[in-house]
Amino acid sequence: MQALHTRLRAMPRKRATMSTESSTFKYIGRHRRAVEHKRFVLGQGHYAADIQRPGMLHVALISSPYACAKILKIESSQALAMPGVHAVLTGEELFEAIDPILPGVDAPQVTRYPLAIATARYAGEWVAAVVAQTRALAEDAAEMVDIEYEVLDHIVNPELALLDNAPLVHPKHGSNVIFHRKFVWGPVEEDFSKCEHQLSYRVHWARNSTVPIETFAVACEWHDATSVLDVWASIQMPKFPDQVAKALRLPGNAVRVHFDVDVGGSYGVKRGLKHTILVAYLAKKLGRPVRLVEDRLENMRGGDMQGPDRIFDVCLGFNSNGEILSMRMHALEDIGAYSGRSPLQLGKPVGAIVGPYKIQSVEYDAKAVLTNKTPQEAVRGFGQSPTNYALETGIDKVARFLKMDRIALRKLNMISHEEFPYLIPSGTTYDSGNYSVVLDKALKEAGLESLLQQRDALRAKGIHAGVGISTCLEPSGGNSSFEPLFNPKNETTTWMDSCLVRVDLSGSITALMGTSSSGQAHETLVSTVVGEILEREPDSIRVLHADSLNALPSNSPVGSRMAIMLGGAAAGAAKKIRTKLLLIAAHNMQRGVQELSFEGGGVFEKAAPQHKLSWDALIEIAHRKYHCLPSGMEPGLQEKFVWEVPTGGQLPTADGRVQMYPCHSFEAHVILASIDPGTFKVQIHRYVCGHDCGVMISPDVVHGMTYGGIAHGLGAALMEKFAFSEEGQLLAGTFMDYLLPTAHEVPSISIVDHCTPSPLTEFGQKGSGEAGYLGAPAAVASAVNDALAPMGASIDYLPMTPQAIWSAVEKSKLSKALA
């Protein structure tokens, strides 16, 4: 890992810190309408639920009413006798016909099928699927299916699930612990022994999710003659076609996933493997197109899209001057009843485990436990936001303990601009940053003095008010290094993405990307980048989403990676086209390439600018005039580029050090909040986010994602929770119990940009798809705790609902009375 660090340090700095205004780009960094938006505002988006195929059948699902129960008998004859009903599928049939989905960690007995096999392990787990001519008819028939269960013992509390006598969610696995590893990076014991103070605390991040407004939808059609399965699905899932094919025991080239489906929001969760495998199996079995569109309850309870649910026990070691030397962090993740990529969400934070701070050594104990709850899936930030919340809560606690200013404490411990590239104890090198400047910019925009005055004025009126601060990193450019880190059998060291660029005979440019999009404006990204390189108007460039049979190797728009990876791949392909045009020009103008200049799509001679070949003339040669092409050059004009993640390509070291993500964006949140003295509801009065994600290719897109990420973070901090009863019943299955922030709860937000380019990427860009969400919950908690501090109260769990805050205040009153 040290070698990598040295390599990174040796890389030339492409650009020093620069402001966005001084950009030399023609299209990058400019205001531009998103290509995708016109079809959306006209109502002409193309979502999975819009798919209609001739003769299509529809699926309704029957779910387990129990948290854990043996399925004794499924009686479906009455349902099957109903006109228009085509099938009732059970786990028993699926078990014989398909292969299970395996977890991301090494736990081969924790298998998962689309329908429960013999035992249902959470309330809401799909037990049977009914297929009929309409969804309404399928629901009618579902009511006629009679299922006999034997209720078994269940476990919903993750700490109790660790006990020896706890009921086992997967008895064959032999334990409820599906993953446990303790990492020690650096001299933790020694550093703690040197510290003047230690502070231990526990924080709890509640189970919430991104909850897109579109539920999961999938349509499949099987073709007997060609043995091809067509799939239209609302997905954001790496290696999705391969996994579908594998489960169905089909060769990879028998599954054609159409990536041109618009996905109605995902932010991580639209994985849909079990949905798609189920519907694909039915389509193949029945020889008819089949569609499943989850209803909201199916989505919330059985859609397997709930997010991290984590208890942190943290100990910070520090000196009286505020210097934090070492950290012990124990994280217990409740992943629910099955495992997808969920234990891996404990892995991503390894790459930014110390946040923006110079903490020298770290012990990280990561444990994932199975319970009889809805399974967990990837959520925006892949586990980073909970970890940021845990760390930032500790920074505020240390400041309070030392009676130090929270901002001064942060600045004291922050990595300074001169120290980049900076190697953190867990083996990741941060590429670039200027943290204290971004924090200062945010503080200036917020007007810290005035903010404190407003807070004190509110307090004088008897309103609990607080100022919140958080600073954190957004690791970006996902390379999935947590896979080999958490599973030694998995030797993944590449997570490439790619792009194909083609110039047709008319001179028009078409680019092909290999994944679907869920609102990230990838067509805008690619056309801006290709336009920049080839100096053609981006609005004239068409961007298509391939299907999986004609796509180049690609992963998925996860881990804030597409500006880096797709942007890099598009630039790479366009540069190859540009090189080819220069070679054609050099050949025809009888000059060396170095004597020529590419400008506006044409090529001219530097010494004699009137001597030139236009874009149209060069395209004509490439497509029609083989006799004018340099010897050996392929005719036509298309180039592909497959890009490996920068800094990727290496397995973790034996002690679990790893370069997790290449690029590291930074955000600083400053807010003023108050707590209504009557209702205990939190109101945000001022919200400022300082943000540095390097060079922004599409600033409007970045800002939009940041606003949305902050709104999502406010929800996680204050409102959203998948609550379960002791019986394991989901108590928040509708939007009247699972509360999403509306335009009333989300305040007006100010974003302050800063630009520290990454030395690792084509234009200096970093990722930003998870911006805002990664720091907002910590900032809101910081403000609420600042508001509660004068009362001697504090709250260390999310969401901080009015009831939860009231309880925290009452608890503090009670303990004072008892003392």
Q: What residues make contact with other proteins under the rule CB under 8 A?
A: 33-34, 36-45, 47, 49-50, 52, 84, 136-137, 210-215, 262-267, 293, 295-296, 518-521, 700-701, 703-705, 707-712, 734-736, 740, 742-744, 746, 748-749, 772
Minimum CB distance to other proteins, residue 208 (Å): 12
Q: Report the sign of the C-alpha dihedral through residues 542, 543, 547, 550, in that order.
A: positive
Minimum CB distance to other proteins, residue 801 (Å): 18
Question: Read out DSSP for 339-393?
Answer: -SSGGGGGTGGGGGTTTTB---EEEEEEEEEE-SSPPB---TTTTHHHHHHHHHH
Minimum CB distance to other proteins, residue 712 (Å): 7
**Residue 522 near residue 705, CB atoms below 8 Å:** no
Whichever of 537 and 737 has its CB closer to other proteins, that residue is: 737
Whichever of 58 and 207 has its CB closer to other proteins, that residue is: 58
Whichever of 445 and 700 has its CB closer to other proteins, that residue is: 700
CA distance 710 to 773: 5
Q: What residues does 545 pair with on adjacent strands?
A: 513
**Residue 757 near residue 28, CB atoms below 8 Å:** no
The residues, any chain, with a CB within 8 Å of residue 524's CB and separated by 6 or more, are 32, 34, 35, 36, 538, 698, 701
**Residue 297 near residue 234, CB atoms below 8 Å:** no
Minimum CB distance to other proteins, residue 58 (Å): 10
Whichever of 28 and 120 has its CB closer to other proteins, that residue is: 28
Nearest to 486 by CA among 313, 331, 342, 329: 342
Whichever of 168 and 739 has its CB closer to other proteins, that residue is: 739
The residues, any chain, with a CB within 8 Å of residue 632's CB and separated by 6 or more, are none
Minimum CB distance to other proteins, residue 52 (Å): 8
CA-derived radius of gyration, the chain: 28
Whichever of 8 and 711 has its CB closer to other proteins, that residue is: 711
Minimum CB distance to other proteins, residue 33 (Å): 5
Helix (H/G/I), strand (E/B), else coil: 202: strand
**Residue 396 near residue 784, CB atoms below 8 Å:** no
Whichever of 502 and 721 has its CB closer to other proteins, that residue is: 721
* CB-side neighbour CA atoms (13 Å) of 564: 35
Q: Report the sign of the C-alpha dihedral through residues 608, 609, 610, 614, in that order.
A: positive
Whichever of 155 and 684 has its CB closer to other proteins, that residue is: 684
Minimum CB distance to other proteins, residue 299 (Å): 9
CA distance 277 to 198: 51
Whichever of 210 and 785 has its CB closer to other proteins, that residue is: 210
Q: At what angle do helices 776-788 and 699-718 cross, to 10 degrees?
A: 40
β-strand pairing of 638-643 with 612-613: unpaired
Minimum CB distance to other proteins, residue 264 (Å): 3
Whichever of 139 and 620 has its CB closer to other proteins, that residue is: 139
Minimum CB distance to other proteins, residue 707 (Å): 4
Minimum CB distance to other proteins, residue 32 (Å): 10
